[in-house]
């Protein structure tokens, strides 16, 4: 049997054979489902440990012809985000991610946000980088007094606070146990890259080894963080 093939105006293949005519419809191939993520990398400036950066925005756009199904959006590392992206995104529509960094450790930090969806390439990854800075340092980190008679006050020792970052708002510096803050310049606001001092005294109330803590609250932390261990002291009994 001899057949002759032709195509009609809609690109359907027509086979004309000796007995009747056979029609074969060739459907168009399905279009790829695509999505764009802009930018795909976020680099945050150095930030004091325990504080949060200003937010950066990532735009997710459905560049395909059909609705995009979003399965999950998951973040990792010392970063957080809020999202306007729902479980579906219409063709041509966009949604956004608002990303912040809150360093918990000193040094370079890395993370990512992973978007899983119904695109032809179903995973989009946004790379995140930042850096944590020590907000304040105290030197020395431990102070030790010598043996001191009960009821008498040992000569004050000095601790220096260094503010390595932006202006720092101070709370009230306190010492526990038989230790006391006799004087301090660490009040109000400490400018960036400036220092202040804290003088600590020891007045034992009982014999034996005594320990305490110097608490230096700042606006960097919502609660007091005990940064300095104020020694292990031995009180000598007063001789009558």
Pairing mode of beta strands 228-236, 208-215? antiparallel
| Bridge partners (DSSP) listed for residue 29 | none
Angle at the Cα of 170 (from 167 to 175), degrees rounded to 5? 145
**pLDDT per residue as tens, the chain (240 positions):** 555 555 555 555 444 555 554 444 444 445 689 999 999 999 999 888 888 999 999 999 999 999 999 999 999 999 999 999 999 999 999 999 999 999 998 899 999 999 999 999 999 999 999 999 877 788 888 888 888 899 999 999 999 998 877 788 888 999 998 999 999 999 999 998 899 999 999 999 988 888 888 888 876 543 333 333 333 333 333 333
Pairing mode of beta strands 56-62, 35-38? antiparallel
What torsion, rounded to 10 degrees, do the Cα atoms 113, 117, 122, 127 define?
-10
Helix (DSSP H) and strand (DSSP E) numbers for the chain: 0, 22
Say which residue the tokens 């708002």 belong to.
169
pTM: 0.56
- Distance from chain centroid for Cα 91: 32
**In 149-218, which residue ranges form alpha helices assigned H by DSSP?**
none
Q: Edge-to-edge, what's the strand order for the sheet holding 79-83?
A: 35-38, 56-62, 94-101, 79-83
Among 93, 37, 234, 212, smallest CA distance to 154 is for 234
Q: How far is it, in rounded angstroms, from Cα 194 to Cα 173?
A: 17
Q: How far is it, in rounded angstroms, from Cα 14 to Cα 5?
A: 5
Q: Sort residue 188 into left (φ over 0), alpha (ψ -120 to 50) or beta.
A: left
* Domains recognised in the chain with CATH numbers: 1-30 (no CATH), 35-133 (2.60.40.10), 136-236 (2.60.40.10)
**Hey, what are 124's tokens?**
């989009």
């Amino acid at each position: 049997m001899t057949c002759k093939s032709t195509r009609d105006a809609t690109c359907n293949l027509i086979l004309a054979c000796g007995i009747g005519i056979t029609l074969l419809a060739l459907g168009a191939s399905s279009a790829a489902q695509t999505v764009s993520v802009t930018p795909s990398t976020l680099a945050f400036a150095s930030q004091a440990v325990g504080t949060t950066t200003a937010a950066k925005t990532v735009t997710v756009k459905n560049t395909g012809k059909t609705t995009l199904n979003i399965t999950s959006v998951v973040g990792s590392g010392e970063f957080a985000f809020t999202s306007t992206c729902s479980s579906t995104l219409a063709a041509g529509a966009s949604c956004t991610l608002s990303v912040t960094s809150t360093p918990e450790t000193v040094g370079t930090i890395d993370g990512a946000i992973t978007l899983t969806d119904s695109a032809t390439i179903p995973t989009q990854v946004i790379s995140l980088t930042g850096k944590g800075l020590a907000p304040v340092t105290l030197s020395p980190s431990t102070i030790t007094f010598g043996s001191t008679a009960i009821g008498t006050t040992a000569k004050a020792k000095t601790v220096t606070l260094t503010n390595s970052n932006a202006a720092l708002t101070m709370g009230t510096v306190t010492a526990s146990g038989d230790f006391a803050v006799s004087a301090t310049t660490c009040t109000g606001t400490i400018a960036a890259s400036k220092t202040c001092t804290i003088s600590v005294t020891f007045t034992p109330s009982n014999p034996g080894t005594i320990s305490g803590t110097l608490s230096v609250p700042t606006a960097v932390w919502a609660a007091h963080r005990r940064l300095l261990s104020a020694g292990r002291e031995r009180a000598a009994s007063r001789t009558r």
